[in-house]
Amino acid sequence: MIHELSIAGMVCPNNVFLAPMAGYTNEPFRSMCSSLGAGLTFTEMVSAKGLHYRNAETRLLLYHGKEHPVAAQLFGSDPDILREACESEELADFDLIDLNMGCPMPKVTRNGEGSALLENLPLAEAIVSACVKSGKRISVKFRTGVSPQKKITAEFARMCEGAGAAMITVHGRTRDKIYAGPCDFAEIAAAKAAVGIPVVANGGIESAEDCREMFEKTGADAVMVARSALYNPRVFCEITGREMPPLLPLFETQMRETREIYGERFALVFLRKMAAFYLKGTPGAAAYKRRLFEARSCEEVSRLADEIFA
């Protein structure tokens, strides 16, 4: 079930991946998940237009240290601008470029980006083809369709492979479900049956048992862990059979690296939120969360972490 996976010559130490998550998968969080067993990590989704216009905040999303393999996720709807982004200096050191064709948020879809591309296969194909011409490894992350009545998983998978994608990730829900409801194993299995490139299954994986079920019911080559990693990054240890380290030193390292890279203000806001996630299931969590969000410095958050996670 868990094994090394090669993607167009890029070797991942295992086939359990950390999903790209807007607002969360920055370098310190990716690095932590990698150390806990994630075989491949992805940046937050990054606007190709933001890179084109050299937006400083967009470029900061692509900060990464020495972790490899690592993938950058792009979104956009202009094939030329997306190819330009793939060829840019900012993406030169990434091992894989992932194209987001699954984001369901209106602020993305109303611009014809993300899951809006599920309804425009010619444009989606042109985007994949243009990005492949950059010479980078290209993957595509998409949903099963825009609604239960409009599922196009196998067709979209074949299009991606035909356009040159090296891997696809299927989020087993339609756009209208956002992140709710059961994962559609049959649709992911249909994608796997339709193509010869690696297929990654995404949706609802919170434990080693969920992972086992996903592999058994879909035949996927890899799985992608998303929101459950925010609450329990050590889920990668559980799935891959690694020894589970204590949470406090992990949090302390995450705090230090976040402060060094992104500054005090960002670290305070981000780590309060992350500590609150990690509290899930802890006795007295509500009271601790109130104290966390009242903290006015990283030092206060660190002191609370010593109390909470010791």
Q: Which residues are catalytic?
A: 103
Q: Nearest 5°: phi and psi at 243?
A: -65, 135
The residue behind tokens 């591309």 is: 117
**Using CA atoms, how far apart are residues 128 and 139, in angstroms rounded to an integer?**
8
Please tell me whether the peptide bond between 69 and the residue prior to it is cis, using omega within 30 degrees of 0.
yes
**Orientation angle between helical segments 298-309 and 264-278, nearest 10 degrees:** 20
